[in-house]
Amino acid sequence: MQHISMQKTKAKTRPALPWYKKLGPGLITGAADDDPSGIATYSQGGAQFGYNMLWTLLFTYPLMVGIQIVSARIGRVTGKGLASNIRDTFSPWLLYAIVGMLLVANTINIGADIAAMADAMRLIAGGSHGIYAVLFGAISVLLQVFIPYNRYVHVLKWLTLALLAYVVVVFSVHVPWFDVLRSVVAPHITFNREYVTTAVAILGTTISPYLFFWQASQEVEEVNADPDARSLREAPAQARAHLNRIKIDTYIGMGISNLIAFFIMLTTATTLFRNGLTDIQTSAQAAEALRPIAGEFAFILFGAGIVGTGMLAIPVLAGSAAYAVAGAFGWSKGLDLRLAMGKRFYAIIAASTLIGAAVGISDIDPIKALYWAAVINGVISVPIMAVMMVMAQRREIMGPFVVTKRLKYLGWAATLAMTVAVLVMFVSML
- Per-residue model confidence as pLDDT tens digits over 162-192: 777 788 888 878 888 998 999 998 888 887 8
pLDDT score recorded for residue 22: 59
* Least confident piece of the model among 23-32, 107-116, 171-180, 372-381: 372-381
What is the C-alpha to C-alpha distance for residues 184 and 236, in angstroms, rounded to an integer?
43
Q: Which residue has the higher pLDDT, 319 or 430?
A: 319
Contact (Cβ atoms closer than 8 angstroms) between residue 313 and residue 173: no
Is the pLDDT reported for residue 3 higher than 80? no
pLDDT score recorded for residue 255: 93
> How far are the Cα atoms of 24, 95, 170, 227, 417 from residue 388, in angstroms, in the given order?
21, 12, 37, 28, 15
Confidence class for position 428, pLDDT limits 50, 70, 90: low
Report the b/e string of 382-414 with b at 16+ CB within 10 A.
bbbbbbbbebbbeeebbbebbbeeebbebbbeb
The residues, ordered by sequence, that sit 6+ positions from 271 with a Cβ below 8 Å of its Cβ are 173, 277, 289, 290, 293, 294, 298
Mean predicted confidence (pLDDT) in 350-373: 76
pLDDT score recorded for residue 13: 42
pLDDT score recorded for residue 18: 58
Burial class (CB in 10 A: 0-12, 13-18, 19+), 225: middle
* Least confident piece of the model among 13-17, 100-104, 239-243, 263-267: 13-17
Residues 59-105 pLDDT 10s: 999 999 999 999 999 999 999 999 999 999 998 999 998 898 889 88
pLDDT score recorded for residue 9: 41
For the whole model, what pTM was predicted? 0.86
pLDDT score recorded for residue 374: 62
Is the pLDDT reported for residue 147 higher than 90? no
3-state secondary structure 66-131: HHHHHHHHHHHHHCCCHHHHHHHHCCHHHHHHHHHHHHHHHHHHHHHHHHHHHHHHHHHHCCCHHH
Q: Which residue has the higher pLDDT, 138 or 335?
A: 138
Q: Which residue has the higher pLDDT, 394 or 275?
A: 394
pLDDT score recorded for residue 312: 84
Confidence class for position 344, pLDDT limits 50, 70, 90: very high
Residues 107-142 pLDDT 10s: 888 988 888 888 889 888 888 888 998 999 898 888
Q: Which residue has the higher pLDDT, 389 or 159?
A: 389
Residues in the chain: 430
- Rg (C-alpha) for the chain, rounded Å, is 21
3-state secondary structure 362-430: CCCCHHHHHHHHHHHHHHHHHHHHHHHHHHHCCHHHHHHHCCCHHHHHHHHHHHHHHHHHHHHHHHHHC
Confidence class for position 1, pLDDT limits 50, 70, 90: very low
Is the pLDDT reported for residue 325 higher than 90? yes
Mean predicted confidence (pLDDT) in 363-388: 75
Q: Which residue has the higher pLDDT, 312 or 388?
A: 388
What percentage of the chain carries pLDDT values higher than 90? 30
Contact (Cβ atoms closer than 8 angstroms) between residue 40 and residue 309: no
Nearest Cα to Cα of residue 43 among 212, 210, 270:
270
What is the C-alpha to C-alpha distance for residues 316 and 284, in angstroms, rounded to an integer?
21
Contact (Cβ atoms closer than 8 angstroms) between residue 14 and residue 239: no
Contact (Cβ atoms closer than 8 angstroms) between residue 201 and residue 370: no
pLDDT score recorded for residue 12: 44
The per-residue pLDDT of the chain, averaged, comes to: 84
Nearest Cα to Cα of residue 243 among 48, 421, 74:
74
Mean predicted confidence (pLDDT) in 357-386: 75
Confidence class for position 406, pLDDT limits 50, 70, 90: very high
